[in-house]
Every structure is written in structure tokens, then in C-alpha cells.
């Protein structure tokens, strides 16, 4: 078992109806909030009005910034940070799915940075990234989608549309102070949205699980349990959208799967997420859908590595009772089809695929031209091209 450090400073308030505490919790953070949300859904469902009313009951002043898009742009985050400064907001609330929550973290950092500093300046893949040497504004997060886990971690993902690069930033300063996870806020989600959310949750743990080298029995069992919970509960929830217990289970697995628990005692990484980031940076496909489109091709292509094949067999034996990798991958494909998500990438021209692969190397290889696996084996540009192309034939 590997040595590790574990730090999880988020106050989590979980349960049906707990959104009513947003005003009281906000009072502990400040007097004026920049409320960061998406363009449509929280307004349409009435969740935005509900949150604003709870805040007003506690005399919290609110400035609404409702310009967050799917795959949030660095320029949008910079704009939010500027508004937070101009309005003298002393804390940030992120309301919605992963995009508004990630954006709230980025805005909290930009708001305390020097004038003219962009969130993109902090991206770690740059040759000379800016250090986070300021304390961001406090952040309170309210997820309305059980998928990204942003409410429980210190990471965020932003897209630079000028360069077609989608990159994550991770730093302890970006942990939210409080997250209110109220499963009732997810009742307006469609079956399709819930299905793709489940895929994202599974992938958050499946990627580092399958690319880990070495023994970590406790962590493996935790991950297997969370994934099994999604595999068992999600199809039931899709058939019975009123079941709040199933909905609560999905919300909690979403938080845990991308919390600091994700990488404890593992040396695997989120390679599939990185591949998807390059896809959505160029095509703007929603993140969870991109994962679904790439998952089967990624599993199939990665089996050429002996350690990966062995880990997949171990996972299959424990979760599906099957050790044959072809049958395990078929199990995943059958699951994806049973929840009616897309599993085949639309036809992309060769030039676009080349650009996506180039972006992957630029962002994730550190200038080496390849990405190294924990075994020392390498993934080259041609490997990523094959994963993209094979995903069009699945």
C-alpha cells in the first residue's frame, strides 16, 4: 500500500430539504454573494429563486452571474471574477452542475488576483504557470447534478476556446468551505441527464483503478463498492424517478467518486478524462457524453498493456463475476446501452482527430511527446488517434 496524505476540509451538508440551510451557512462566509449559475436550468426549475429567497431571509445581498456555459470558458470565469471585484462580493456561491461549481472556484481565485490576471495563467501545463499565492474568496457549492463531484474536491476544469485546450487546475486553496447536497434539487433531471451523470461517476474511479500498479485492497474495495452502487441503483432510478432513496445514493456516490478519496493509495490517473477533454475542447460535446462515447474504445485499446488487462480482469471478477476481458467490456457496453447513452462517436474527419491528438500531447505530455503510465510504458500520439478512431466504430 502506498504512502499518502489525505486532506478534506469541506463541510458537507447532505439530505433531502437541506437547501433550506443555505442562508444560515452563507452568513458564516460573508454578507454579499456572487451567485454563479448556468444560463437556463436553475431558472426554469425555480431552484435559483428558491436559493435567492433563502439568502434574502438572512439579509444576504446577492449578485447573480448566470453566464456559465457547458465546458466553461476561461474568459467567462475571468468576467465573473471582475464582477465579483467590482461588486465587492465577499464570497461565491456555485449553483448547478459541474460547470457552475468549477466556475465558482475559478472566479473566487480571479477575484482575489491582481488586475488583469486570468484563470488561465494558473494552468499547471504552462511553462511558467502563475502560483496560487493569494487566498481565494470563500466558496459555497450547491450541486443540482450528481456527477462531477466538484462539491467535494479542490479541482476545476476550464476551456480556452482560442487554443482549443481544456485543462484542470487543482489546489487546496480551491476547496469549497461548505457544500449543500440536497437530492431533491435533482428531481427535474431527465433520464438522459441522470444516465450520463452515472457514466461520469463510474469513470472517475474506473480510470485510476485500472491504471493503478501495486496492491491497495482497502481502496480497491471502496471503489468497487461505489461503482457497484451506481451499476445497481442507476437503472432502478431511471425506471422510478420518484424514488428519493435511489436518488440520494446516486448523489452521494457522485461526491465520493471525485473527492480526495479518488487517488488515495493509488498511482493511476484519469487518462480517459484527459482524452475526453481534448474531444470536448474541439467539439464542445458535453463532458459526460464524451466519456460515454470513448469508454469502450479506451478499455479495448488499453488492454494491450499487461498490467491494465490484469487490473480489468480483477475488477471484472469482483464486480461482475467474470474474468475474461472481452466479456467484461461487453458488460460495460450492455450497461451503457441499457441506460440509453451514446456509445459511438460521430464521424470526425482525420484533420480534427489529428488536432485533438496534438492537443493531448501539448497539454499532458510535458513536452515529451508521450504520456507515461505507472509501469513506465508509454502512450503515444498514435495511441490517442486510434482510441478516437475506434470509438467511431464501436
| Tens-digit pLDDT profile for residues 180-190 | 999 999 999 99
- The predicted structure's pLDDT at residue 265: 86
Is the pLDDT at 215 greater than 90, yes or no?
no
Look up cell 461588486; give the residue.
87
- The predicted structure's pLDDT at residue 307: 97
Is the pLDDT at 172 greater than 90, yes or no?
yes
Which of 249, 221, 218 shows the shortest CA–CA distance to 233? 249
What CA–CA distance (Å, rounded) separates 265 from 41?
Answer: 38
- The predicted structure's pLDDT at residue 270: 87
Which of 28, 36, 68 shows the shortest CA–CA distance to 52? 36
Which of 181, 167, 158 shows the shortest CA–CA distance to 104? 158
- The predicted structure's pLDDT at residue 344: 93
- The predicted structure's pLDDT at residue 127: 87
Query: For the residues 226-231, what does the mean pLDDT come to?
Result: 98
The band of 244, judged by pLDDT with boundaries at 50, 70 and 90, is very high
- The predicted structure's pLDDT at residue 3: 83
Q: Report the alpha-carbon angle 201-118-70, nearest 5.
A: 35
Is the pLDDT at 366 greater than 90, yes or no?
no
Query: For the residues 221-237, what does the mean pLDDT come to?
Result: 97
- The predicted structure's pLDDT at residue 368: 87
The band of 329, judged by pLDDT with boundaries at 50, 70 and 90, is very high
Pick 127 or 23 by higher pLDDT.
23
The band of 385, judged by pLDDT with boundaries at 50, 70 and 90, is very high
Entry pTM: 0.96
Q: What is the largest CA-CA distance in the chain?
A: 60
Look over the chain and give the mean of its residue pLDDT values, rounded to a whole number.
Answer: 96
What CATH architecture applies to the domain 11-185?
Answer: 3-Layer(aba) Sandwich (3.40)
Query: For the residues 376-393, what does the mean pLDDT come to?
Result: 95
Domain boundary assignment for the chain? 11-185, 189-391
pLDDT above 70 coverage of the chain, percent? 100
3-class SS string, the chain: CCCCCCCCCCEEEECCCHHHHHHHHHHCCCCEEEEEEECCHHHHCCHHHHHHHHHHHCCCEEEEEEEECCCCEHHHHHHHHHHHHHCCCCEEEEEECHHHHHHHHHHHHHCCCCCCCCHHHHCCCCCCCCCCCCCCCCEEEEECCCCCCHHHCCEEEEEECCCCEEEEEECHHHCCCEEEECHHHHCCCCHHHHHHHHHHHHHHHHHHHHCCCCCCHHHHHHHHHHHHHHHHHHHHHHHCCCCHHHHHHHHHHHHHHCCHHHHCCCCCCCHHHHHHHHHHHHHCCCHHHHHHHHHHHHHHHHCCCHHHHHHHHHHHHHHCCCCCHHHHHHHHHHHHHHCCCCCCCCCCCHHHHHHHHHHHHHHHCCCCCEEECCCCCEEEHHHHHHHHHHHCCC
Is the pLDDT at 161 greater than 80, yes or no?
yes
Query: For the residues 181-210, what does the mean pLDDT come to?
Result: 97
The band of 2, judged by pLDDT with boundaries at 50, 70 and 90, is confident
How many other CB atoms sit within 10 Å of the CB of residue 276? Answer: 25
- The predicted structure's pLDDT at residue 135: 97
Give the three cell numbers for residue 66.
448566470
pLDDT tens by residue, 283-314:
999 999 999 999 999 999 999 999 999 999 99
Query: For the residues 41-56, what does the mean pLDDT come to?
Result: 96
Flag the least confident range among 74-83, 136-145, 209-218: 209-218
* Fold classification of 189-391 (topology level): Dehydroquinate synthase-like, alpha domain (1.20.1090)
Is the pLDDT at 210 greater than 80, yes or no?
yes
The band of 370, judged by pLDDT with boundaries at 50, 70 and 90, is very high
pLDDT tens by residue, 261-287:
988 889 999 899 999 999 999 999 999
Amino acid at each position: 500500500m502506498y504512502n499518502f496524505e489525505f486532506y478534506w476540509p469541506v463541510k458537507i451538508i447532505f439530505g433531502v430539504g437541506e437547501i433550506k440551510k443555505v442562508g444560515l451557512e452563507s452568513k458564516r462566509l460573508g454578507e454579499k454573494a456572487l451567485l454563479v449559475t448556468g444560463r437556463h436550468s436553475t431558472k426554469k426549475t425555480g431552484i435559483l429563486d428558491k436559493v435567492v429567497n433563502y439568502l434574502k431571509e438572512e439579509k444576504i445581498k446577492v449578485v447573480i452571474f448566470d453566464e456559465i456555459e457547458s465546458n466553461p470558458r476561461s474568459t467567462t470565469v475571468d468576467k465573473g471574477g471582475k464582477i465579483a471585484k467590482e461588486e465587492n462580493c465577499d464570497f461565491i456561491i456555485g449553483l448547478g452542475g459541474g460547470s457552475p461549481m468549477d466556475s465558482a472556484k475559478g472566479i473566487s481565485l480571479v477575484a482575489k488576483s491582481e488586475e488583469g490576471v486570468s484563470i488561465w495563467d494558473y494552468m499547471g501545463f504552462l511553462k511558467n504557470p502563475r502560483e496560487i499565492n493569494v487566498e481565494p474568496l470563500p466558496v459555497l457549492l450547491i450541486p443540482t447534478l450528481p456527477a462531477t463531484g466538484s462539491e467535494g474536491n479542490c479541482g476545476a476544469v476550464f476551456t480556452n476556446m482560442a487554443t482549443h485546450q481544456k485543462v484542470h487546475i487543482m489546489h487546496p486553496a480551491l476547496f469549497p468551505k461548505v457544500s449543500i447536497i440536497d437530492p431533491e434539487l435533482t428531481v427535474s433531471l431527465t433520464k438522459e441527464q441522470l444516465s450520463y451523470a452515472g457514466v461520469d461517476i463510474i469513470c472517475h474511479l474506473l480510470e485510476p483503478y485500472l491504471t493503478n500498479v501495486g496492491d491497495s485492497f482497502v481502496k480497491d474495495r471502496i471503489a468497487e463498492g461505489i461503482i457497484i452502487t451506481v451499476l445497481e441503483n442507476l437503472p432502478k432510478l431511471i425506471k422510478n424517478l420518484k424514488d428519493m432513496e435511489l436518488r440520494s445514493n446516486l448523489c452521494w456516490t457522485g461526491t465520493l467518486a471525485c473527492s480526495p478519496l479518488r487517488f488515495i493509495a493509488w498511482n493511476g490517473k484519469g487518462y480517459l478524462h484527459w482524452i475526453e477533454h481534448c474531444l470536448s475542447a474541439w467539439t464542445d460535446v458535453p463532458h459526460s457524453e464524451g466519456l460515454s462515447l470513448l469508454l469502450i474504445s479506451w478499455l479495448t485499446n488499453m488492454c494491450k498493456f499487461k498490467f491494465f488487462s490484469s487490473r480489468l480482469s480483477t475488477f471484472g471478477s469482483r464486480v461482475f463475476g467474470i474474468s475474461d476481458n472481452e466479456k467484461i467490456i461487453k458488460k460495460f457496453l450492455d450497461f451503457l446501452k441499457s441506460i440509453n447513452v451514446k456509445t459511438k462517436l460521430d464521424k470526425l474527419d482525420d484533420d480534427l482527430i489529428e488536432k485533438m491528438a496534438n492537443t493531448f500531447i501539448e497539454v499532458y505530455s510535458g513536452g515529451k511527446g508521450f504520456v507515461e503510465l505507472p509501469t513506465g510504458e508509454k502512450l503515444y500520439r498514435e495511441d490517442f488517434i486510434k482510441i478516437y478512431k475506434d470509438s467511431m466504430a464501436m
